[in-house]
Amino acid sequence: MKSIKDILGFQLIYVIVDYGLGSKVLQSAKKMGVSGGTVFHGKGTANSSLLKFLSLYEERKEIILLGAEETLAKEVMQKLDQKFHFEKPNHGIMFSIPAYDVYGSSCNVRHDGIEREVEKFMYQIIITVVNRGLAEDVIDAAKEKGSKGGTIINARGSGIHETMKLFNMDIEPEKEMVIILSEKEDMRGIVDNIRKKLSIDEPGNGIIFVQDVAETYGIYQ
């Protein structure tokens, strides 16, 4: 097992591409040294500007989640960019997020107060999980504060506040997860407006979390 020092720079790589390309991205990443990944189905909601790859409203998308050490992650992202041409409009988007606690069959690593050089992040990812049917409301609230769109993923909740009764049986309603990539200076306004418009602070209405984005490919102003 690798030491904390060896794997401290572990990163999660998100790749969002048109429907049908997910397997190709995943296979390419494996050939480049990534041990594996997960492909999710979603839909895009942007039609211009920051996320030009989502050029058609509600276009079907695939989200590929990969994990790799920082050095390998940078190398893989560069090679994927060369292969899939994220620099071209509508070809996809890719970004990485630092991960300091990593658990699984291949490694168990925790960031126990070990200091790293402070990084300056230009972008942040805002992830909102709400009941099914409310994702578009999240997108609308975000757009009011400068967001150019996002990606919606179907999910399912299992929290204590997330169940409903049907003939005395607990039913877990389907959820929708909204991924919004935002410039750091816009993040607070977007988050606050989503909280306000969807009453996120009330039990069972949803959850929002924000993460820094280390590197990006395919972002256009």
Q: Which amino acid is at 19?
A: Y
SS3 15: strand
What token pair was written down for 193?
């407006």
Q: Judge residue 112's burial from the number of C-beta atoms within 10 Å of its C-beta, 0-12 exposed, 13-18 middle, 19 or more buried.
A: exposed
pLDDT for residue 59: 72
The residue out of 69, 94, 119 marking a domain boundary is 119
Q: State how far the Cα of 94 lies from the Cα of 215, in Å rounded to an integer.
A: 8
Q: Is residue 221 part of a domain?
A: no
The DSSP symbol for 50 reads: G
Domain holding 27, by residue range, is 4-119
pLDDT for residue 198: 95
CATH assignment of the domain containing 210: 3.30.70.120
Q: 71 and 39, same structural domain?
A: yes
Beta-sheet pairing, 102-103 with 123-131: unpaired
pLDDT for residue 43: 74
**Which string of b and e fits 129-168 if b means at least 16 CB within 10 Å?**
bbbeebbebbbebbbebebbbbbbbeeebeeeebeeeeee
Residue-level pLDDT, tens digit, the chain, 221 residues: 444 344 457 888 999 998 899 999 999 999 999 988 888 888 776 544 444 433 334 578 888 888 888 899 999 999 999 999 998 888 899 999 887 655 553 444 444 444 444 456 789 999 998 888 899 999 999 999 999 888 888 865 555 554 555 455 544 557 888 999 999 999 999 999 999 999 998 888 888 988 889 889 987 65
pLDDT for residue 219: 74
The residue out of 104, 119, 134 marking a domain boundary is 119
Q: 105 and 67, same structural domain?
A: yes
Q: 13 and 111, same structural domain?
A: yes
Q: 127 and 66, same structural domain?
A: no
Q: State how far the Cα of 161 lies from the Cα of 169, in Å rounded to an integer.
A: 15
DSSP string, 64-127: EEEEE-HHHHHHHHHHHHHHH-TTSTTS-EEEEEE---EESSS-EE---S---PPPPPSEEEEE
The residue out of 87, 119, 151 marking a domain boundary is 119
Q: State the first-to-last Cα distance of the chain, in angstroms, to the nearest integer.
A: 42
Q: 99 and 21, same structural domain?
A: yes
DSSP string, 118-135: PPPPSEEEEEEEEETT-H
Number of compact structural domains in the chain: 2
pLDDT for residue 45: 65
Of 50, 72, 65, nearest in space to 17 by CA: 65
Q: Is the pTM of this model over 0.75?
A: no
pLDDT for residue 89: 84
